[in-house]
Amino acid sequence: MFVYEKKLQYPVKIKNPNPKLAAAIISQYGGPHGELGASLRYLSQRYSMPYAELKGLLTDIGTEELGHLEMVGTIVHQLTRNLSEEDIKTAGFDTYFVDHTTGVYPTAASGFPWSAGSISGDMIADLTEDLAAEQKARLTYDNILRLSDDPDVNDAIKFLRAREIVHFQRFGEGLRLAKDRLNEKNVYFMNPS
């Protein structure tokens, strides 16, 4: 069960609309390394996790990623509010606008919608993938920071980027714990001797 507090994990107050920047940032909403994928991946992986500490880790981070999804959606919404037709055309936001107007839609910046096709189910593979996912999300935030000159956007993006690093560290601890536990049980693939 989740308890929902009606505020963002970190404040988002974008002063200047920028649909071109929104078209890039939408990838962190529903792109291949975005917050939707991370939250659903981690919250799904917890069901098959045999260790309570790691189940808790997946629940904690998956829940936080839902909060990040809300922050990214808020950023995109604030960057696309009150746009004129000229703003939409000039910024190259027209292809997104045709299908979604200014609604926040789970898609990559390239236009491909999010898919659950990457969720596996093996504990070691999942935790290793989770480490990679956090690094890919961090890289995507790095790329957004390279494209953005808006201090309001950059402030929120830097917060999200920092949390990806923390998640990477926690998943590293989780993977070490899982391997130690499997070694204790003398599981063949962890200890072939």
> Can you give the pTM of this predicted structure?
0.90
**So what's the pLDDT on residue 43?**
95
pLDDT: is 71 or 117 the higher one?
71
pLDDT greater than 80 at residue 119:
no
Q: Cα 110 to the chain's mean position, in Å?
A: 16
pLDDT at residue 1, rounded to an integer: 62
| pLDDT at 92 (0 to 100) | 85
The pLDDT tens digits for 143-177 are: 999 999 999 999 999 999 999 999 999 999 999 99
* Average pLDDT over every residue of 34-46: 94
What pLDDT is attached to residue 138? 97
Rg of the chain on CA atoms, in Å: 19
151/115 Cα distance (integer angstroms): 32
pLDDT above 60: residue 188: no
DSSP category for residue 107 = B
Is residue 187 predicted with pLDDT exceeding 90? Answer: no
Confidence (pLDDT) at 96: 85
Q: Give the largest Cα separation in the chain, rounded.
A: 68
CB-CB contact of 52 with 79 (8 Å): no
